[in-house]
Amino acid sequence: MAQTAFAAKRRITLAGAAIDAVLALIKAVGGVIGHSQALIADAAHSASDLASDVLVLWAARIGAQPPDANHPYGHERFETAATLGLGATLLMVAGGFAYDAGMRLLQPERIADPGWLALSIACLSVIGKEAAYRFTMRVANCYDSDLLRANAWHSRNDALSSLVVIIGVLGALAGYPFMDAVAALA
Ligand SMILES: [Zn+2]
């Protein structure tokens, strides 16, 4: 049973990791081509998402191990610890997001270049991360895994962040430069 659950968790986490790897690559290339610091920073975020996928895989693997002499009650506490770690990084991500939006509001010249490149990449990001949220959440509920739920919520947070970028860029293209920052704060 534990092994079936682990196989399902591994499959879904690897799919999410593939999305994060592709997004990191596209954002890095787009950032270099478009000379966009915002995209490079976003690429770094996707790379850190990839790192948390690896953490989830590792914790799920240990959590699936049967009880042994050193751990007579099983290894589920490893999953709990990793879940707490994921929750903490999620808080940091949300905090960094608010800080960044605030800085842009105070210094309008720092508003990221509102180009079509940033817009297309943000659209890809919303689709990819929302998909990751949905399929990860389905498996999380199926096996009642808080570890996967935490990772799924992180994906949805990232999808929402990119959605805010889209609204801001569209606003800027329509001639409202401050909308970028306002949308980010919202
Ligand atoms: Zn993320």
Note the pLDDT tens digit of each residue in 47-105.
Answer: 999 999 999 999 888 888 877 777 776 777 778 888 888 888 777 777 776 776 666 65
> How would you classify residue 15: left for phi > 0, otherwise alpha for psi between -120 and 50, otherwise beta?
alpha
Q: Give residue 90 CA to ligand 1 midpoint distance, Å.
A: 8
How many domains is the chain partitioned into structurally? 1
Average pLDDT, the chain: 83
122 pLDDT band, cuts 50/70/90, is: very high
Residues with CB under 5 A from ligand 1 (ion): 49, 158
129 Cα: distance to centroid of ligand 1 (angstroms): 9
Backbone angles phi and psi of 68, in degrees to 5: -135, -175
109 DSSP 8-state letter: G
Do residues 52 and 129 lie in contact, with contact meaning Cβ atoms separated by under 8 Å? Answer: no
Contact 181, 108 (CB under 8 A): yes
For residue 31, the enclosing domain spans 2-185
**Tens digits of per-residue pLDDT, 124-157?**
999 999 999 999 999 999 999 999 999 999 999 8
Residue 131 is classified by DSSP as H
Q: In angstroms, what is the span from residue 174 Cα to ligand 1's centroid?
A: 28
| Cα-to-centroid distance, 155 and ligand 1 (Å) | 6
C-alpha of residue 158 to centroid of ligand 1, in Å: 5
CATH number for the domain spanning 14: value is: 1.20.1510.10
Tokens representing 94? 């949300």
